[in-house]
A and B are shown apart, each in its own frame.
Chain A
Amino acid sequence: MAESANGGPTLTAALFPTDGAAAADWLAARDPRLRLLAAGLFALMTLSLTQVWTTLTAGLIALALAAAAGLSPRMLGGRLLALEGFMLILLLTLPFTVPGEPLLTLGSLTASRDGAAQALLILLKANGVVITLLALAGSLEPVVFGHALARLGLPAKLVHLLLFTVRQIHLLHQEYQRMDQAMRVRAFRPRSDRHTWNSYGWLIGMLLVRSLARARRIMGAMRCRGFHGRLYLLDTPTWNRGDTWAAAALGLTVTALTAADRLC
Chain B
Amino acid sequence: MAHIPDGVLSAPVLITGAIASAGLLTLALRRLDYDHLPAAAALSAAFFVSSLISVPVGPSSVHLLLNGLMGLLLGWTALPALFVALVLQAVFFGYGGFAVLGVNTLNMALPALLCALALRPVLRRERQRSAARPVFRIGAAAGAAGVLLTALMLALSLGLSGQAFIPAAQVLVVTYVPLALVEALITGTVLSFLQRVEPGLLPGAE
Chain A interfacial positions (CB closer than 8 Å to B) = 6, 8, 11, 14-15, 39-40, 43-44, 46-47, 79-80, 82-83, 85-87, 89-90, 93-94, 96-98, 115, 118, 121-126, 128-130, 132-134, 137-138, 142, 145, 155, 157-158, 160-162, 164-169, 171-173, 175-176, 190-192, 194, 196-198, 200-212, 214-216, 218-219, 222, 227, 229-231
Contacts and interface: CB of A to CB of B under 8 A. Distances in A.
B198 A212 contact: yes
Given A89-B171, A165-B45, A173-B49, A197 B7 contact: no
A225 to B, nearest CB: 13
A142 B85 CA distance: 13
Nearest to A97: B164
Contacts of A200: 53, 55, 186, 189
B6 A202 contact: no
* From A14, A40, A129, A155, residue with most partner B Cβ within 10 Å: A129
A206 B57 CA distance: 22
Interface stretch (B30-38, B124-132, B145-153): B30-38
Interface string B39-73: 11111111011101111111100001010000001
A216 B163 CA distance: 51
Contacts of B168: 89-90, 93-94, 97
The 8 A-B residue pairs whose C-beta atoms are closest, nearest first, are: A201-B189, A125-B7, A164-B41, A168-B45, A205-B193, A79-B94, A126-B5, A215-B42
B7 to A, nearest CB: 3
Contacts of B167: 93, 96-97
B34 A207 contact: no
B90 A133 contact: yes
A98 B185 CA distance: 39
B92 to A, nearest CB: 5
B76 interface: no
Contacts of B81: 161, 165
Contacts of A39: 98
A90 B165 contact: yes
Given A44-B98, A93-B168, A205-B193, A211 B55 contact: no
A242 to B, nearest CB: 23
15 contacts: A6-B54, A79-B94, A83-B5, A87-B5, A98-B164, A115-B164, A164-B40, A168-B45, A171-B45, A201-B186, A201-B187, A204-B66, A215-B39, A216-B39, A231-B34
